[in-house]
A = this chain, B = another copy of it.
Amino acid sequence: MKYNIKHLKEGSVTSAKGFMADGVHVGLRYNKKDVGMIYSEVPAVAAAVYTLNKFIAAPNIVTKESVNAERTLQAVVVNSACANACTGKRGMDDAVIMRRLAAEKYDIPEHYVGVASTGVIGEFLNMEKIAKGIREVAPEATTEGAKSFEKAIMTTDLIEKYTGYEAEIDGVKVTIGGCCKGSGMIHPNMATMLGFITTDANVDKDALQRAFSKITDISFNQITVDGETSTNDMVLLMANGMAGNNLLSEDHPQWDVFYTMLRKTSEDLAKSIAKDGEGATKLIEVKVKGAKNDADARAISKKIVGSSLVKTAVYGNDANWGRIVSAAGHSTADIDPSKVDVILGDQYMLKNSEVQPFDEEAAKEYLKSDTVYIEVNFHLGKGEATAWGCDLTYKYIEINASYRS
């Protein structure tokens, strides 16, 4: 790897120095863990991205307030089963109380605490159980602690989603790790995605937010399961500086090392959500090249990977490239329909907008793989982007058409 960055097989939110985590079961749901906490030994520089849904949930508003105060967080408390969204004034009060209880537990300022919720929209939090959870969680700097946290934030997720990397910066070991939940805003009223990334790197506040915003656009914002943006989406990044490297910002000679670690961590987590998209049997990766610019490439790639027709064709192992072209043409981006290439796996379906003969059977076999790669080149400019999604299956309908109970 270019920067000699090492992937950590068991990477998680507790991989970085000074970070602890835990999750407990307090009965917000039948038998799964439902309240989780991440705690840093020392205050950490914080960066965040929030849902663009206009019905932003109370916990997101409260966390935004915390982060904006000093861009410093030391603890994050999360619950599953209830999203505390569309809950009006009482919901806001509950989110504030949830934050206060966590702050009191650690005797830290309230604005050092972030809160996140995921679950049913339009229902109120059971504050007794939330309080019990905050009392009982005992974060520890172990993989077990991270696993408990990962379990506590899952909703319809079938697998825990975690990753981590380490590299040397200024001669010291810098570690980053994270976890997330989400598999489409799918199960009745369940909210989409929460992500938590921790690093012991010593990073400048502004540089961290700039990098994180940029990376979110090419990772978390490039996945789609069902085209829905939930009321509770949030990704939090905490950097506590305990690695002891010199302050990192764009002009640090090894900035690119840290930037790449953060990008890889975000991309791993984003892809893990797409792959676990609900009902999904395979990951679809769409690479767009030769677009007018990167923004166009992002729009087109996401349009293709989000097309119900492309998704069902992939599920049906149908090399149905006409749907790929049609989805691309349906996006807002500039394209010249007269010089487009479409590649499925390694076979050209369309070259310079002329139909190519291809091996249907080989294509059908290829489509049975875990990951299906689609490449579209518009030969217009240098714009490139990748988007990730999943196939659309009977299981998606089954899960989402099932009655809430």
Contacts and interface: CB of A to CB of B under 8 A. Distances in A.
Interface of A: 52-56, 85-88, 120-123, 185-186, 188-189, 226-231, 307-309, 312-313, 315-318, 320-323, 325-330, 335, 337, 350, 353-355, 364, 392-394, 396-398, 400-404
Interface centre among A228, A308, A320, A364 (most CB of B within 10 A): A308
A215 B81 CA distance: 45
Given A122-B322, A320-B189, A329-B231, A86 B307 contact: no
B55 A329 contact: yes
Q: How many copies does the complex hold?
A: 2
A318 B401 contact: yes
Given A54-B335, A228-B326, A230-B326, A309 B121 contact: no
A53 B320 contact: no
Contacts of A350: 86, 122
A403 B121 contact: no
B312 A401 contact: yes
Contacts of A397: 312, 315, 392-394, 396-397
Nearest to A350: B86
B326 A231 contact: yes
Contacts of A325: 55, 86, 121-122, 231
Contact of A400 (B53, B88, B309): B309
Given A308-B308, A309-B226, A404-B318, A330 B53 contact: yes
Contacts of A53: 326, 329-330
